[in-house]
Amino acid sequence: MSYVGPDFDPPQPRRPRRRPLTVAVAALVPGALLGWLVYEAVGGSGGDASEAVGTPSFSSSAPASPTAASTSAPKSTDDEKPSPTPSTSAPAASGPLKGKVVVIDPGHNPSNFQHTAEINKKVNIGTNWKECDTTGTSTNSGYTEAKFTLDVAHRLRTLLEKQGATVKLTQDGDRTYGPCVDERARIGNKAHADAVVSIHADGAGAGQRGFHVILPGSVHAGAADTRPIVASSADLGERIAGNFVRVTGSAPSNYVGDGTGLVTRKDLGGLNLSTVPKVFIECGNMRDTKDAAQLTSGAWRQKAAQGISEGIVSFLRG
């Protein structure tokens, strides 16, 4: 099903069509879109996302030697005080998610731009080699993706802790750069996380709007074997997409995903190397002025965190 929200410009030319989605996607997301239409009818607003699909955050390159990330700790520019990486909440005494571990992966790092040599070094993602990390994108006014992802991560952590979950962050603005994409995956694996969500915002062209959730494709090469987590990650992603529509009023991307808000990829190290259920969410397109107005709004970022949280809770409670 394709979809264009009533306040969207005509869709831009699509990327090549992705592989067919599961029956579960067809059942869940259209219902969420119906909720979106009701929301718009009573005055809601539309769409948001991050890691550019045309130029993914983890771009391909020729093989080279992997490099370990530094662990020194500068001050965070975000509202919350950073803690050692990975940042971990104290287990809650009670709540429906007591005993569950959630890893939140805020995409990029506010200081990556100061360490381009380090983040351009390659790490092995099983299928090939990729840059350690990238700087991420930003709005036309200079609000960075790294700052956005940390803010949403902090809000999401608070919401999940209230549900009783133990929450870990892959980084909290407390490192000089990174972590690299392979280390981000290892953090979730080592924590034996019940769910991992990597937060991003896209850098696509103007007029390309909306969010999308990236699911791991079936990969079996080198150190990568996503086959055991493909189904569970799809379930996690579908639940997040449906709740994100409902809570934020945002529409699914009008430039990837054929209107479902779901995209499957095999080129992202953070997904390829995961051994636990994991998805990425591109919350909106920072390079589109309408999406950027939402991404720069604290009130909207709270809705984004709420939508992601409710999707995670739904997944973990079955």
The answer to whether residue 81 scores a pLDDT higher than 50 is: no
How confident is the model at residue 74, as a pLDDT? 34
* C-alpha triplet 137, 141, 147: angle, nearest 5°: 50
Is residue 254 included in any domain, yes or no?
A: yes
Work out how many domains the chain is built from and give that number: 1
Is residue 39 included in any domain, yes or no?
A: yes
Is residue 154 included in any domain, yes or no?
A: yes
- pLDDT: which is higher, 13 or 187: 187
CATH number at residue 112: 3.40.630.40
The answer to whether 282 is a known catalytic residue is: yes
Among 63-67, 127-131, 222-226, name the one with the lowest average pLDDT. Answer: 63-67
The answer to whether residue 68 scores a pLDDT higher than 50 is: no
The helix (H) or strand (E) run that includes residue 24 is: helix 23-41
**Cis preceding-peptide flag for 84 (omega within 30 of 0):** no
- What are the b/e assignments for 83-96, b being 16+ CB within 10 Å? eebbbbbeebeeee
Is residue 7 included in any domain, yes or no?
A: no
Is residue 10 included in any domain, yes or no?
A: no
Among 118, 131, 238, 282, the active-site one is: 282
* Average pLDDT value for residue range 49-74: 34
Is residue 274 included in any domain, yes or no?
A: yes
How confident is the model at residue 94, as a pLDDT? 84
Q: Which two tokens stand for residue 275?
A: 């051994």
**Is residue 58 within 8 Å of 132, Cβ to Cβ?**
no
* Average pLDDT value for residue range 142-166: 98
Instruction: Say which residues have a Cβ less than 8 Å from residue 202's Cβ, sequence separation at least 6.
Output: 49, 50, 51, 52, 53, 137, 208, 212, 282, 284, 285, 286, 287
Is residue 167 included in any domain, yes or no?
A: yes
Domain assignment of residue 180, given as a range:
23-65+93-317
Confidence bin at 65 (pLDDT 50/70/90): very low
The helix (H) or strand (E) run that includes residue 234 is: helix 230-248
How confident is the model at residue 17, as a pLDDT? 42
Is residue 6 included in any domain, yes or no?
A: no
Distance of CA 242 to CAs 112, 192, 293, 297, Å?
32, 25, 22, 21
The answer to whether residue 285 scores a pLDDT higher than 80 is: yes
The answer to whether residue 160 scores a pLDDT higher than 80 is: yes
Give percent above pLDDT 90 in the chain: 70
How confident is the model at residue 53, as a pLDDT? 34
How confident is the model at residue 91, as a pLDDT? 54
Helices (H) and strands (E) in the chain, counts: 8, 11
The answer to whether residue 191 scores a pLDDT higher than 90 is: yes
Instruction: Say which residues have a Cβ less than 8 Å from residue 240's Cβ, sequence separation at least 6.
Output: 197, 213, 279, 281, 307, 308, 311, 312, 315
Average model confidence (pLDDT) for the chain? 80
